[in-house]
Structure 1
């Protein structure tokens, strides 16, 4: 058996949330060890040199929601973090030769939307203003642990008076913030709980604008734009400031792994020990309290605190002996929805896409942001309809970015990396296995792009295909769900990961969740890690 070691806290998983949690604990003077299964840090926020000279953000690819407070607290800019804004930020080509280009420039949006509807051009600033008002109310909620307001049975959890008072204060602050919305409150409730399609159809008449905005509501989710809850992600369009201004999404210079590397450097300077290629085998418990972890190579690491940044399924159903968990809690964990239908295709290109609607050579402004293949809202619906029966979409939705349009550090001179995020590729297939069909489905995606940019197939020099099954295998995310659990209303806020345990704690003393399986959920925010560290420090030191 390998030699044992002891720390104040162990963090399972070296994704961005785990690294943030570890850094904050170390900042408070604790001896912390991060255990990462892979040889590279970052989890889904990682950069890998897949081909000589190509530094690819293999999974996550843009940043906006990352908390500015974390950047300041951990001095990430001093560690080399640079975010490159994307302007313009959105481009939707159409089969009829037209296109829609949008971004933070209000005048540009006005001109572009007016090509399709003067009414929509007038409505769009009002729509954005509503989203910004609601987002301003919501953002503080992301910056602290969620309350547990439900009257759960005492057999489920005994909550002390101090937590009850803290939760009451959080709920009162939320009440006052919601009251500040005034007449916008019903619209805010619909944005938080309703479906994206009816909202967008009331606001706008042009299908291309509806479809462009609706794509944001379903990326990373196995849901329809007509499903309740899909509207919530529309708010992400105006949230976050990591891109340099509110709602501006950016690229991390050097790839998404540069963010994780900056957090890791900050943590290591604070005393965090990071172990790569150190897969956890089990979490050890004695008399209802965590005592440490065991690694697959037999190493034993003792610690009174274990913070897990992997999902709830791995934490509670793989690493723990089921007998140590209360039956009701274990049942609730087993019922978490991990439905997913996302696939990632990374392409190395000899030249940028030249769209038939906007022929070009070299990098042009429309290459800077997200390029959408999904021309109508019915197109988005049909793609989902096929997937819900266990079949990959015949006409997939493509959300593409080309970070090399603004970052010259990640590919050889004159070459480009096209990141293609694909919907819908259901994890559970009806009549096939992903290992057998993923390359053919990737061919279908490239062929669909070629309908709009005919030069792409001939420009491809290298290709990586990550099916939902590959996402699960490589990144350790159950069902290939990039959010560590579906972001449905019943799995958000006070219900994440399960009702009664939304504050990062668990029935096992000293065992916490610090990843996207906890509030506020998926996305490169860092909030899960920061909030968890605050609760750990509140409890123990």
Structure 2
């Protein structure tokens, strides 16, 4: 046995670091153990090509909560953001391009080239989305109520949000309830006629999901992905890994210890009828004791692999086994000799935000159709970023390409043999709006759903630790009855994206889990 800590946090992803810093700031003796040599998990920046540091997971921190930035004083630890005047650039196969700008008048003028009617409706649409997402944003830092126990404190925590909902007025409140379970296509069809505009917007509805825009509930995903503002982005200066570095700095400054290269083989469970987590055993065999353990790993890996099903009731085992992951995102990291020549490009500033190749909602739906039958898409939906437009590196440009749909389970073959085939498919698709891009490639890395699982611990390649549909959100996340960060194992908590509110770089699961731990001692926290 080695030292004893108050808290052990398994996993040095951004949520684990948020939890560690929050607990250490409250005076707890905290240890973070991370399997990889790099902190950040899916929010890391790594040198995968000589001279080029690449965001190997998430690329944008628009959803990261300002309250966490303030409470942990992350700007003092080096966190800074950059924004671009263009929010989204959507090149079209016909040679045109649609650009959504921060400036509303400029956006309206650009949309008018595709549809005068849609241009006139854009301001009202933006106001509705931001009104609805403003309400939903208030849910991120609230633990879901315990519907079974109906404890007064659980419900009272939601009182301010309920009051805000009531102040929306009856019409807006009913509109919110109508919109959340809708298919994104139905919602966007109510507002717009332009395929280019609806395709550009609709990409937000399928991020990390094996669902198409016609699937029920994808409008909730659309709103969730826009919680930081409609199509808004907030890039971290130096790469998303600098957010994780700032969090690690805040945790260490508060007294936390962080160990990398320290994978966890097992969560130790004490003896007795009411067995509790009492520490961890590392891959090296070292055992470390703690009063409480937080896991930033996904719920299934935490409870089945690290704890063991023998510690769980049959009903809990059934629910955990039924968690849907269904990852279908692959990534190409490219180093190019110059900026790609995208169709319709008039100003390089257009390339400084998101770049989406989604000419219509039908195109996204057809890409999803392939995944339903265990095939990757022949014309995938692509979301891209050019970070070196703002931060030049080694004379070339980095282009990161997130491609959907690439299902984790292929009907024919597997990702060890199909990875390069899919990479070629992505490049062929990209070439339809960026001719000559193959000739610009200096380096290329394909990251398949299998790689996401093996390297980053994302089960089935699910970037959100479980699909974010209505059936796996709020009180249903991660499983019914256990939505408040506690698990069926006493003194073991979940602090990762598999817990409420879900995936994305929000910091909310880690922050909420830390407060849940502290509330056991300080109910008024």
With normalisation by structure 1, the TM-score equals 0.93
Counterpart CA distance in 2 for 1:148 and 1:475 is 32
Which residue in the other structure is 2:519 paired with? 538
What is the SS of the residue equivalent to 2:82? strand
- Residue matched to 1:71: 69
The residue number in structure 2 matching 1:462 is 443
| Superposed displacement of residue 222, structure 1 | 0.6
Q: Counterparts of 1:145-224 in structure 2 under 5 Å?
A: 145-149=143-147, 151=148, 159=149, 164-182=151-169, 183-224=171-212
The total of aligned residue pairs comes to 518
Residue among 385, 388, 399 paired with 1:401: 385
- Please report the RMSD computed on the Cα atoms of aligned residues, expressed in angstroms: 1.5
What displacement does 1:519 show?
Answer: 0.4
SS in 1 for 2:364: helix
1:308 aligns with 2:306: no
Displacement after TM superposition at 1:237 (Å): 5.4
Whether the aligned pair in 2 keeps the contact of 1:134 and 1:181 (CA below 8 Å) is no
Contact (CA 8 Å) 2:111, 2:118: kept in 1 or not? yes
Question: Is the 8 Å Cα contact of residues 406 and 449 (structure 2) preserved in structure 1?
Answer: yes
Shift of 1:459: 0.9
* Pairs within 5 Å for 1:230-249: 230-236=218-224, 238-240=226-228, 248-249=232-233
> Please, which of 266, 272, 279 is the counterpart of residue 282 of structure 1?
266
Report SS of the residue matched to 1:141: coil
The alpha-carbon distance between structure 1 residues 64 and 489, as it changes in their structure 2 partners (threshold 3 A), is same
| Structure 1 residues 137-182: Cα deviation after superposition (integer angstroms, max 9, x where no partner) | 1111111211121x3xxxxxxx4xxx70112214544433322222
Provide the secondary structure at the position in 1 that maps to 2:95.
coil
Indicate the SS of the match to 1:304. Answer: strand
Mean Cα deviation higher: 3-12 or 22-31: 3-12
1:444 is displaced (CA, Å) by 1.1
**Displacement of 1:452 after TM fit?**
1.0
The answer on 1:506 being equivalent to 2:487 is yes
Give the secondary structure class of the aligned counterpart of 1:458. Answer: helix
Deviations 1:101-139 (A, max 9, x none): 112110111101111111111111111111111112111
SS in structure 2 of the partner of residue 78 of structure 1: helix
* CA displacement 1:281-317 (0-9 Å, x = unmatched): 1111123211111011100010010000110011000
Relative to the length of structure 2, the TM-score reads: 0.96
Aligned to 1:346: 333
Q: Check conservation: 2:221, 2:468, Cα contact below 8 A.
A: no
CA offset at residue 53 of structure 1? 1.2
Q: Structure 1 stretches of 5 or more lacking a match?
A: 152-158
1:9 and 1:127 mapped to 2: Cα distance? 46
Report the CA distance between 1:97 and its aligned residue: 1.6
The 3-state SS of whatever aligns with 2:446 is strand
Cα-to-partner distance string for 1:245-299 (whole Å, 9 max, x where unaligned): x863121111111110110011011111001010101111123211111011100
CA contact (8 A) 2:97 2:343 kept: no
Aligned counterparts of 2:424 and 2:213: Cα–Cα separation in 1? 26
How far apart, CA to CA, are the structure 1 residues paired with 2:412 and 2:231? 41
Shift of 1:359: 6.7
1:70-149, aligned counterparts within 5 Å? Answer: 70-149=68-147
Contact 1:492 1:520 in 2 (8 A): yes
1:182-232 C-alpha deviation (Å, 9 max, x unpaired): 212233123322110011011001111111100111121110101111111
Q: 1:371 is matched with which residue? A: 355
Which one is further off, 95-104 or 261-270?
95-104
SS of match in other structure, 1:50 = strand
Q: Is the 8 A contact 1:194 1:229 kept in 2?
A: yes
- What is the rounded CA distance, in whole Å, between the counterparts of 2:215 and 2:344 in structure 1? 32
Cα distance in 2 for residues equivalent to 1:108 and 1:232: 28
Displacement of 1:13 in angstroms is 0.3
CA contact (8 A) 2:136 2:227 kept: no
Which residue matches 1:156? Answer: none
Q: Deviations over 1:409-432 (max 9, x none)?
A: xx21x3111010000001110011
Q: 1:329 Cα shift?
A: 1.3
Match in the other structure for 1:385: 369
Tell me the distance in 2 between the aligned counterparts of 1:115 and 1:504: 49
Q: 1:342–1:468: 8 Å Cα contact kept in structure 2?
A: yes
SS in 1 for 2:47: strand
Cα displacement string for residues 345-365 of structure 1 (whole angstroms, at most 9, x for unaligned residues) = 1101111111233377xxx01
